[in-house]
Amino acid sequence: MITNIKNTSLLLFLLNSFFVFSQNFNITDGQTINTCTGNFYDSGGAGGNYTNGETITYTICPNNASASEVIQVNFTAFSTQGGGADFLTIYDGDSTAGSLLGVFDGSNSPGTVNATTASGCLTFEWVSNGAVAFPGWEAEILCFQPCQTITAVLDSTVPDSSVTGSIEADVNDVITFNGSGTFSSSGVGATYTWDMGDGTILTGQSVTHAYTTAGIYVVTLTITDTNPSGCSSTNDIGLTAIVGATTPGNPYVSAGDDAVADCTTGCVDLDAEFLDIGETTTYTISQIPFVPPFPFNGLTNSINTNIDDAWSPVNALPFNLCFFGDIETQFQVGSNGVVRFDVNTADTGSGSNAYGLNTGDVLPNNINPTLAEANVFLPGHDIDPSVNSTNEIRWEIIGAPPNRVLAVSYYQVPMYSSTCNNLLATHMVVFYETTNVIDIYIKDKPVCTSWNSGLAVVGIQNDAGTTAYVPPGRNTSQWTTTDEAWRFTPSGSSVVDFEWLDNTGTVISTNAVHTVCPTANETYTARVTYTNCDGVVTIVEDEVIVTVQAEDPSFTLNPSCDGATSTITGVIGGTFVFNPVPTDGASLDSSTGEITNGVPGTTYTVEYTTPGTTPDSCPATSTESVTVLTAPDASFSMTPTCDGGTAAIIGVAGGTFTFNPLPSDGATIDASTGTVTGGTFGATYTIEYSTSGSCAASSTENVTVLTQDDPSFTMSATCDGGTATVTGLSGGTFTFNPTPTDGTVIDASTGTVTGGTTGTLYTIEYTTSGPCPATSLQDVIVTDVDDPSFSLTATCDGGTASISGTTGGAFAFNPTPTDGATIDTLTGTITNGVSGATYTIEYATTGICAASSTETVTVLDNEDPSFNITETCDGGTVSITGDSGGTFAFNLAPTDGAVIDLSTGEVTNGVSGTTYTIEYTTGGPCPETNVQSFTVLDEDDPSFTITPTCDGGTATISGTTGGIYAFNPTPTDGAVIDSVNGTISGATPAVSYSVEYTTSGVCVASSIQTFSVLLADDSSFTITPTCDGGTATITGDTGGTFSFNPAPTDGAIIN
């Protein structure tokens, strides 16, 4: 049975589809899809088997190949007919021409397949035969950005690194690291991460770091790009920081840093450092920083591999090593951390370097072979290289003459004894050519107390075993250490000659510290000569440059018209002075060097001294001379004209004329000739003339424009023209401008105009005849005949006049009335006229051309203010019998709240029986007033009283009779009232009733009285029978009367 392996995946897909939509793709022939998500199936889809006899080619590409994305297809299920019957072939590319990635059938799933080409596509070729159909496959489609190739590059360091990739610095020295990267795609946004090897991580292309502890540190640089996959460089930049290392034991000299001569003394101390050694007859021991110059593992020559207690074969030294006064040319390395130069070619192999020490076996020693056979102990202790094959005992000649070294290293060699094999020892010795210095570096020195008491020793001894040098606490004893180093320096008679040489090669001193006072920059050489015990001489040199740091005081002077300007070409910030100081008033700016107020043609000398602002710079002085430029002659003269002036150059021609200051009246000047035009008569202008030479000069002249003739005149109008009065320059000529056509004439000499038309305007022109003739115009309007027009407005006793013509005339009656009316001659106001009478008024002007006119006016009629009043109960009403439209008012105003309607005169809210006075004023042009009084009608008196009775009451009117009675409110108990006389009956005893009485007169009034009906007497009694009648006992009100009811007829009597 073939199980459909895709069903489970389908179920999971269906479940997941509730949360994330993912498209399904079935392999279809000839189709290319672009997607970065989805599920890829055979032709049977998610739940079925594929079809027999299929040959299909199908390509899947990313959505965005330009973004460097590629397709990844992860097959999660795969089952086809095996044996090559039904198979899937995958190509790296967008067609079957791409590289073949594999052919898969049966249960051989492709797994995860990644595209690697630029297209980012994968092409699938599916072939099925006609036999059995299997479930096929299910795969997930993804896109990702493949990692580019990134290579980290060490560009530089400060200080510089060596060709072997190491950089040396002292503890706390700041080191600068500069890196970059090469990228197969793009380095934009890349991150540069430095691991400084001491736990410090820094970020950036350039970083700085100071190590606080001596040691050897491997520095790495990792560059990570912005790819979401986190792609990084993997290469090693090959950099090691050697911090706090002792100067190597090679021949060495340092002339020191370049120096600057002191500004005051001109001198500086040369201070050289060099490796000072002596003959190897004696040694000095010093502890040095643990900074091994070479790795403990990986040296070239392996010895004593897996052999315990063995001396190596004899090895030749390529250089002569002086050791305790002897020249050594061969060496052997022992398994137990020792080296000897007193070699024995027969003493090699297992057991030859046996180790056995007892307390008291110390260096020097020529008795116990463990110590006596060896010269150098680094340390000497019982270690066992036969325990494993991972430890190393190696040696190597490193470097080139005369600076070669012999390095012998023991790397992770187990301690002897099965109980201590887990303890590993690592140490090294370095022998220096030429200097014969010996350095021992102990990385790890454990102790195995269960064997040989854990005894160990560090030191050197001569061949005879009679002289040895051992660090404190490191002679044969039980001890352990890590990261410890010692130097053995030859200290016999010196084999070093030191010299200072100047730049000519002349020896100037043999002292390391030497004072020099150069006059110019100079290079000095520190030379050390080493003479080895074999007579070989080695010379090392180093140079130092001493700078005579005098500042550059150079400057230039550029002459000007009154001095010069300075340009500093050397060090700025210095001071300028005259040398010598002039006495002609010239001044010098000490900061800028600018000379002003100098005399043209005079030569001045200026001295400039630099500031010497830093310890390494010295002030210096230089001088320059300059001759002030000579100014040309800029003199000229001006001749005034009627509108400006003309210029005449006296000095150097070719300059430029300008106004100074520039006038604002429109005058202009010719810049070449100086001619001024458009000027204002009588105005003064200042003209400046500037030459155009190398040192331009200028001068000014004033010119006053000639005064123009004064053509001013005035015109006085006459009744037929006008007369002229010349107020300016006389002797000119008068004309019309323009000439009139109405026959008017003018006298050319006097300007008198005659024959003009009344009210007409004439323009007169007067032209002078002087040197600057001028013309002016005046208008004259022929004087009009006075306008006597006026109007009259009637008043109640006459009228008023309004002049619309010429004022200033006189008014008069024409004819004069006889009814007593009067007129104001100035204003024309008529008074005391008779109502309705008509008057004629004449108005005569008093001007040059007088005139008169008349108007009539009829006096306004008097107005009628008559009216009648009809009294009312709270005031009165008015009937106007005269002129309506006037205004009513109280006269005098009452204080009792009465009011009056100003338009109708109606009075309301008046007090009954009160008299009021009102007046009426008409609203016409001649208002009149009428005053009348009236009395408000009296109001009826509704007063009355009620006398209670046993079933009601009786009313008595004390006011106005004839009114009507009524309950208020009406009772509901059956009580009734007589509306005419007010008698109440049928009322309930002791009940209160309110009765209202309303009069029936003109001014009706009402009042209310409340009373209570009388309460009935208690007539209750009892009868007690007797033999002939009975006796009564009153239980109610006493004082009443007894009677029979009905009266008996049998003769009985009652009291």
Q: Is residue 655 part of a domain?
A: yes
Residue ranges making up the domain that contains 663: 636-704
Burial of 815 (0-12, 13-18, 19+ CB in 10 A): exposed
Answer left, alpha or beta for residue 45, where phi above 0 means left and psi between -120 and 50 means alpha: left
Nearest to 93, CA basis, from 62, 127, 54: 62
| SS3 assignment, position 6 | helix
DSSP 8-state code for residue 76: E
Residue with tokens 């990385």: 443
| pLDDT of the residue at 4 | 52
How far, in Å, CA of 237 to CA of 257, rounded? 29
Residue-by-residue DSSP string for 838-888: EEEEEEE--STT--EEEEEEEPPPPP---EEEEE-SSSEEEEE-S--S-EE
On whether both 32 and 100 belong to a single domain, the answer is yes
Nearest to 547, CA basis, from 524, 517, 521: 521
Nearest to 17, CA basis, from 42, 3, 2, 38: 38
Question: Rounded to the nearest 5 degrees, what angle is found at the Cα of 27, between the Cα atoms of 23 and 28?
Answer: 110
Q: Is residue 846 part of a domain?
A: yes
- Sequence-distant (6+) residues with CB within 8 A of 346 are none
| pLDDT of the residue at 16 | 40
Q: Take residue 517 and report the two structure tokens written for it.
A: 């006072």
Q: Is residue 253 part of a domain?
A: no
How far, in Å, CA of 800 to CA of 793, rounded? 5
- Taking 50 as the pLDDT cut, the residues of the chain under it are 1-3, 5, 7-21
β-strands 166-169, 239-243: how paired?
A: parallel
Q: Is residue 550 part of a domain?
A: no
Burial of 257 (0-12, 13-18, 19+ CB in 10 A): exposed
| pLDDT of the residue at 404 | 92
Which amino acid, 215?
G
Nearest to 307, CA basis, from 331, 343, 334: 334
On whether both 166 and 234 belong to a single domain, the answer is yes
Domains contained in the chain, number: 11
| pLDDT of the residue at 20 | 39
How far, in Å, CA of 876 to CA of 897, rounded? 14
On whether both 419 and 510 belong to a single domain, the answer is no
* 695 within 8 A of 634, measured Cβ to Cβ: no
Torsions phi, psi for 307 (to 5 deg)? -120, 130
On whether both 385 and 436 belong to a single domain, the answer is yes
Q: Is residue 118 part of a domain?
A: yes
Question: Rounded to the nearest 5 degrees, what angle is found at the Cα of 696, between the Cα atoms of 690 and 701?
Answer: 30
Length of the chain: 1055
Q: Take residue 89 and report the two structure tokens written for it.
A: 């072939």
| pLDDT of the residue at 247 | 72
Torsions phi, psi for 176 (to 5 deg)? -105, 130
* 387 within 8 A of 414, measured Cβ to Cβ: yes
- Provide the CB-side half-sphere exposure for 996 (13 A, CA): 10
On whether both 160 and 183 belong to a single domain, the answer is yes
**Three-state secondary structure readout of 988-1029:** CCCCEEEEEEECCCCCCCEEEEEEECCCCCCCCEEEEECCCC
Burial code (b: 16+ CB inside 10 Å, e: under 16) for 919-954 equals bbbbebebebebebebebbebbbbebebebbeebbe
Nearest to 335, CA basis, from 320, 351, 319: 351
Domain finish residue from 677, 704, 731: 704
On whether both 967 and 1031 belong to a single domain, the answer is no
| pLDDT of the residue at 784 | 83
Q: Is residue 1045 part of a domain?
A: yes
On whether both 17 and 72 belong to a single domain, the answer is yes
Nearest to 223, CA basis, from 251, 195, 254: 195
Q: Report how far Cα 618 is from the mean position of its chain's Cα atoms.
A: 46
Answer left, alpha or beta for residue 250, where phi above 0 means left and psi between -120 and 50 means alpha: beta
Which ranges in 874-999 belong to alpha helices (H)? none
On whether both 471 and 526 belong to a single domain, the answer is no
Nearest to 141, CA basis, from 63, 210, 47, 216: 63
Between the alpha carbon of residue 851 and those of residues 802, 811, 855, the distances in Å are 16, 12, 14
Domain finish residue from 509, 527, 545: 545
On whether both 372 and 436 belong to a single domain, the answer is yes
How far, in Å, CA of 1019 to CA of 1039, rounded? 10
Nearest to 790, CA basis, from 718, 717, 852: 852
Residues forming beta bridges with residue 596, ordered by sequence position: 587
On whether both 529 and 569 belong to a single domain, the answer is no
- Provide the CB-side half-sphere exposure for 379 (13 A, CA): 32
Q: Is residue 316 part of a domain?
A: yes
DSSP 8-state code for residue 15: H
Domain finish residue from 627, 644, 679: 627
Residues forming beta bridges with residue 333, ordered by sequence position: 339
| pLDDT of the residue at 7 | 46
- Sequence-distant (6+) residues with CB within 8 A of 798 are 821, 823, 829, 830, 831, 832, 833, 839, 857, 859
| pLDDT of the residue at 19 | 37
Question: Rounded to the nearest 5 degrees, what angle is found at the Cα of 586, between the Cα atoms of 580 and 588?
Answer: 75
Q: Is residue 999 part of a domain?
A: yes
pLDDT, tens only, 223-237: 999 887 788 998 999
β-strands 915-921, 645-649: how paired?
A: unpaired
On whether both 440 and 337 belong to a single domain, the answer is yes
On whether both 115 and 18 belong to a single domain, the answer is yes
Nearest to 134, CA basis, from 111, 105, 109: 105
Torsion angle, alpha carbons of 376, 382, 387, 391, to 10 = -30
* 268 within 8 A of 261, measured Cβ to Cβ: yes
